[in-house]
Amino acid sequence: MSKQKYQEQFYKTMVEHLGEEIFVSDGKGNILFLNPASAKTIGLSVDQIIGKNAQELEDNGYFSKSCTMEVLRQKKTVNMLQKVRDGRVLLATGVPIFDADMENIDMVICTSKDVEEVNLLLAKVELQGKDLELKEAQIEHLQESIFLEEGFVYSDPLMRTVRDAVVKIAPLEVTVLVEGETGVGKEVVVKTLHRFSSRKDKAFVKINCGIIPENLIEAELFGYEPGAFTSAKKEGKKGLVEIADGGTLFLDEIGELPLNLQVKLLDFIQDGAFQRVGGTKNLKVDTRIIAATNTNLKEMCEKGYFRQDLYFRLNVIPIKIPPLRERRGDIEALIKYFISKLNKKYSANTKIDANALKVLEQYNWPGNTRELMHIVERAFILTDGDVITEKTIKIILNNEHTSKNEPVIIVCELMPLKEAKKEVERQLVFRAYETVGSTYKAARVLDIDQSTVVKILKKHRLNENIHHK
């Protein structure tokens, strides 16, 4: 079979099997070709129709008006509705094919489709669209409930951007660096990343790199073998990277990680393998690393305090959380969320009045979301009745401002010098930690060892809140 014959047969077979009606005439309306679907619509066999004129079929009532004849009259593409003998209405389109001079019509090709079928198809597509919208709404509702469970409350467009980033990034098996000032809610974001990941049913393990003494942090992270050091357990111990196998390891205050340990962490991130302290065997685990910092790691790299290669490995996908003062649209939503939690906890029905809310919205929030939470809780407890008023909020904010400008040391009565020294120590360490946000920085400010800061905080039971960012 020649190539031309093959092509003719190919196109003929293709057109004959189309569900849509095909009807071809010459420049005078004489029918040259039609497919079985078109013949069925007209109500005659293909052989009975070929050679007839389209006008003749119209005159004999096979269809109300010939699309072919309209094209020949108007000399342009025509779209029209035509009624066929069995009562159905077709949507017909006729296209003229002109000669080389573009003056005369050589051929007319008409296609048609049952309007009812088109309408049914449109209805089906519309129904599918509504089903899709419903499913999307259900997914959105489920996502929002997860955000609320984790305390990820937002209203401001800036945090909406962070929220969208979390949903996109969470399923990806990459390291993430969460940046932001102390108190902005970095841990909330990290926990939400874990919840939206494929690891949500596995362990979520957190370590605060700023509160573990430098000589112990390697053993905490990577574990140790029996007899690795003097105080080691005789059976050895798993590290947090092993405990988080299959899940997520959250490295908080990553900027405080000692330089010598940064190399080992980098190797682990790249290979998923490590050795316990005192061990020689390579262990492999599948642990996702998410880190957080309130410091500028890029500047720390420039100053030599943080390895640049580790920074680039952690910073594959950064999430920057803006401070509360830059996303004031979140303040009201957060206040109502905190009050709702307190109402549930204490079986109360406390509200906040509009003036009190306005005062809080105008405050600059140097301590970010954490400070807002503490002030709302204080106002809740101090309020007489069921409404937090402007007066209560102003008293709390004034006291907050005054306390930050008071002398560090307060001695109200005579006491033994030894006790006074301990009190000075406690106040200085506590104030330094609250001001700079990490034990390493506090140690540098006070010119003492970081382990001493940790020891004093633990001694005075102040370490209960130092895990939170």
- For the question of whether the overall pTM of this predicted structure is more than 0.75, the answer is no
Range of the structural domain that residue 427 is part of: 417-459
3-state secondary structure (DSSP) of residue 206: strand
The answer, yes or no, to whether residue 9 has pLDDT greater than 70, is no
Is 201 domain-assigned?
yes
Kindly state whether residues 106 and 196 are assigned to the same domain: no
| Residue entry with tokens 């040391």 | 409
The answer, yes or no, to whether residue 152 has pLDDT greater than 50, is yes
Q: The tokens of 299 are what?
A: 């500047």
Q: At what angle do helices 186-195 and 157-169 cross, to 10 degrees?
A: 40
Kindly state whether residues 231 and 373 are assigned to the same domain: no
Is 69 domain-assigned?
yes
| 340-365 pLDDT per residue, tens | 999 998 899 999 999 999 999 999 99
Kindly state whether residues 31 and 75 are assigned to the same domain: yes
Kindly state whether residues 212 and 272 are assigned to the same domain: yes
Is 18 domain-assigned?
yes
The answer, yes or no, to whether residue 463 has pLDDT greater than 90, is no
State the DSSP string of 261-326. Answer: HHHHHHHHHHHSEE--BT--S-EE---EEEEEESS-HHHHHHHTSS-HHHHHHHTTEEEEPPPGGG
Given a contact cutoff of 8 angstroms between Cβ atoms, the answer to whether 51 and 25 are in contact is no
CATH no. for residue 331? 1.10.8.60
Kindly state whether residues 157 and 240 are assigned to the same domain: yes
Given a contact cutoff of 8 angstroms between Cβ atoms, the answer to whether 162 and 168 are in contact is no
CATH no. for residue 23? 3.30.450.20
| 54-94 pLDDT per residue, tens | 999 889 988 888 999 999 999 999 998 888 888 888 888 99
Planar angle of CA 438, 335, 250, nearest 5 degrees: 35
Is 275 domain-assigned?
yes
3-state secondary structure (DSSP) of residue 33: strand
Confidence of residue 465 (pLDDT cuts 50, 70, 90): very low
